[in-house]
Structure 1
Amino acid sequence: MTEIPLDLAELRAVTAYAVACAEPALAIFDQARPADDRPRAALEAARAFAQGAKRSKAIRDSAWAAQRAYQEARDAGESAAGEAARAAVAACGAAFLHPLAKATQVLHILGPAGHAAYAFELAGGRYPVDPCALADPIVLRVLARYPKAPPGRGRAGELARELDTLLRPA
């Protein structure tokens, strides 16, 4: 498998981008489940890494907790809140982007935006950020090293692929 050069500064930039894309969806989660702070804690752990903290088990643990929040929201029929929690899970995943030339790795970069945008669709609203405008040159350079986003993954995957197309030069 081909390896992609990826340094710590790039991982931090990708993670900061992922957090910025996922964060607006917290409002949807908080409205449905105000007593559950697991997705917020996951974004805070990812943000801490993006701002210079060590990449640690705390990020993974908070991601697993946010994943449980997603499952509980989904099981309660709160699909928009569930997708908002999945955006937080995906933002944590950005900190663990692998330097492997695999299309699935692109979801570590664009998955948070895909899940957040889908959360807003399900809630009947409009995604309030432009994920293209949030992508700085470092994020664009990292994305360009990877294959295009893979097929599948439902509507969130479709939205991530649309974003992938918009962010890559024609």
Structure 2
Amino acid sequence: MADEAAEVELSTQDLREVTAYAAACADAVLEVFEAGQPEDTRPREAVAAAWEFARGGKRGKALRDTAWAALKAAKSAGTPAGGEAARAAMAAAGAAYLHPLAKATQVKHILGAAAHAARAAELAAGDDRTVGAAHIERAGRRARPEVTHVLGRYPQAPNAGGRVGELTRLLDATLRR
């Protein structure tokens, strides 16, 4: 018999709080993407859709479509930093789809935008990891208590994901203190 993850209680307001947090984190690095792709609005549209949901909009097709479009933008970003900034935007729109399953992988829905944004910032600074760490510190301060309460319902972030995974685990540990 396969193990089934326990369910986590999540309200629509919980999803809005997590999405607002993710959108704020992604907003901080949109210019990294736009510096190399000024005509490509897909990441900005994903962040705008995330904000719309966070402020009371519907969780529907616009979020899904803009998240997928931001992911496609990441693949054609032209620079690794721009790609990570677009992934932050994708994660912001995807945050609204946090599942109520107590699985470590769900932590990426909560913290993924912040981790990709931190990676974008450090790559834009010549792969300076102190820049990424400082970005994570700011993301930790940005998290409202409602976000940390939702995070606390899930297991710790998984041990995978390369540098973005490291940044996710760093932020996860920071917010659980």
**TM-score, scaled relative to structure 2:** 0.91
2:175 to 163, 167, 170: 167
SS in structure 2 of the partner of residue 145 of structure 1? coil
Residue of structure 1 equivalent to 2:9: 5
Q: Deviations over 1:27-46 (max 9, x none)?
A: 10011110100000000001
Report which structure shows greater RCO (CA 8 Å, sep ≥6): 1
1:19 partnered with 2:23: yes
SS in structure 2 of the partner of residue 167 of structure 1? helix
Residue of structure 2 equivalent to 1:86: 87
- The correspondence of residues 119-130 of structure 1 with structure 2, limited to 5 A, is 119-124=120-125, 126=131, 130=138
Structure 2 letter corresponding to 1:141: H
Residue of structure 1 equivalent to 2:145: 137
Structure 1 letter corresponding to 2:164: A
Q: Deviations over 1:43-65 (max 9, x none)?
A: 00011000000101110000111
Q: Offset at 1:22?
A: 1.0
Residue of structure 1 equivalent to 2:165: 157
Residue of structure 2 equivalent to 1:95: 96
SS in structure 2 of the partner of residue 164 of structure 1? helix
Q: CA RMSD in A?
A: 1.2
Q: Using the alignment, how far apart are the partners of 1:133 and 1:121 within structure 2?
A: 18
Q: Using the alignment, how far apart are the partners of 1:22 and 1:45 within structure 2?
A: 12
Residue of structure 2 equivalent to 1:62: 66
1:147 to 146, 150, 155: 155
Counting aligned pairs with the same residue, the percent is: 55
Q: Which runs of 5+ in 2 are unaligned?
A: none
Structure 2 letter corresponding to 1:111: G
Q: Using the alignment, how far apart are the partners of 1:123 and 1:135 within structure 2?
A: 24
What is the count of residue pairs matched by the alignment?
A: 166
Q: Which runs of 5+ in 1 are unaligned?
A: none
Q: Using the alignment, how far apart are the partners of 1:152 and 1:31 within structure 2?
A: 30
Q: Offset at 1:156?
A: 1.0
Q: Which runs of 4+ in 1 moved over 6 A?
A: none
Q: Offset at 1:85?
A: 0.2
Q: Using the alignment, how far apart are the partners of 2:44 and 2:87 within structure 1?
A: 11
Q: Offset at 1:153?
A: 1.1
Residue of structure 1 equivalent to 2:106: 105
Q: Offset at 1:157?
A: 1.1
Structure 1 letter corresponding to 2:161: R
Q: Using the alignment, how far apart are the partners of 1:135 and 1:24 within structure 2?
A: 14
